[in-house]
Amino acid sequence: MENIQILGRDQTSALVTNRLIRNTYTLLALTLAFSALAAGLSMALQLPYLGPWITLLGYFGLLFLTTKLRNSAAGIVCVFALTGFMGATLGPILSVYLATPHGSQLVMQALGATAFIFFTLSAYAFYSRKDFSFMGGFLFVGALVAFLAGVAAIFFDMSTLSLAVSAAFVLIASGLILYETSAIIHGGETNYIMATVTLYVSIYNLFVSLLHLLSIFSGDD
């Protein structure tokens, strides 16, 4: 009888995890598509860049709402508002890069590298079944330090520090992909809305940081 109960709990846990995975990656795909659409519309309408401070204010405000409403249907609306906003703010940045001699090539390279890193790390986390929860503290501190360094780079206009911040965010975003995917598998994350937000932000930061690094090394920045 005890073995049957254990088996039943394992099956229930597996069903819950599978549903979480399905919901997370379905919502992630939809939000990425919506974000890309927002970026395209922003570019087509030639909307101006809002600046880093308004972008950060909008991001953290929408992130707060999403977190607060994560257990309701309104949370889904907030996710699309957040990702749409980030896509819209990305449009003017892409327009600047695309105006450079090798802009189209750089954007495609950054996009391809982002997709490769995301799928490779996700597949590794899924198939290895390793628990990367130990990375949580390191990633939190690393993200905080990189964020503050990024603010300093903007405020003091330090190109060298900006380069280091971009490199740091590539590593941190890659680590977050491993960490969040592992959390989804092992039960560390049970809310598909928050899992989607974490993965989306990781992909966004990875793409923008790679684009910045590639542009610098190509001499187009």
The per-residue pLDDT for 165 is 87
Mean pLDDT of the chain: 88
The per-residue pLDDT for 87 is 95
The yes-or-no verdict on residue 11 having pLDDT over 60 is: no
* Single-letter amino acid, residue 72: S
- Cβ contact 114:210 at 8 Å: yes
**Tokens describing residue 59:** 């991001």
DSSP string, 135-198: GHHHHHHHHHHHHHHHHHHHHHT-HHHHHHHHHHHHHHHHHHHHHHHHHHHHTS---HHHHHHH
Residue in the block written with tokens 């890193």: 117
The per-residue pLDDT for 221 is 54
Maximum Cα interatomic distance, the chain, rounded to a whole number of Å: 70
Confidence of residue 5 (pLDDT cuts 50, 70, 90): very low
Calpha distance 83→79 (Å, rounded): 6
pTM, two decimal places? 0.90
- Cβ contact 221:166 at 8 Å: no
Q: How much is the average pLDDT of 156-178?
A: 87
The yes-or-no verdict on residue 217 having pLDDT over 50 is: yes
Distances (CA, A) of 41 to 16, 35, 60, 130: 37, 10, 23, 40
- Cβ contact 142:164 at 8 Å: no
The per-residue pLDDT for 137 is 87
Q: How much is the average pLDDT of 147-159?
A: 78
Higher pLDDT, 26 or 218: 26
Calpha distance 52→153 (Å, rounded): 11
The yes-or-no verdict on residue 102 having pLDDT over 70 is: yes
- Cβ contact 162:212 at 8 Å: yes
> Could you read off the pLDDT of 49-60 as tens digits, one per residue?
888 888 989 999
Q: How much is the average pLDDT of 162-173?
A: 90
The per-residue pLDDT for 40 is 94
Q: Among the listed ranges 59-68, 109-118, 142-151, 170-179, which one has the minimum average pLDDT value?
A: 142-151
The per-residue pLDDT for 7 is 43
Higher pLDDT, 188 or 83: 83
Higher pLDDT, 140 or 16: 140
> Could you read off the pLDDT of 107-122 as tens digits, one per residue?
999 999 999 999 999 9
Question: DSSP code of 46?
Answer: T
- Cβ contact 205:172 at 8 Å: yes
Calpha distance 178→125 (Å, rounded): 6
The per-residue pLDDT for 93 is 92
Calpha distance 174→121 (Å, rounded): 7
Distances (CA, A) of 197 to 10, 95, 153: 27, 25, 26
Q: What are phi and psi of 130, to 5 degrees?
A: -75, 150
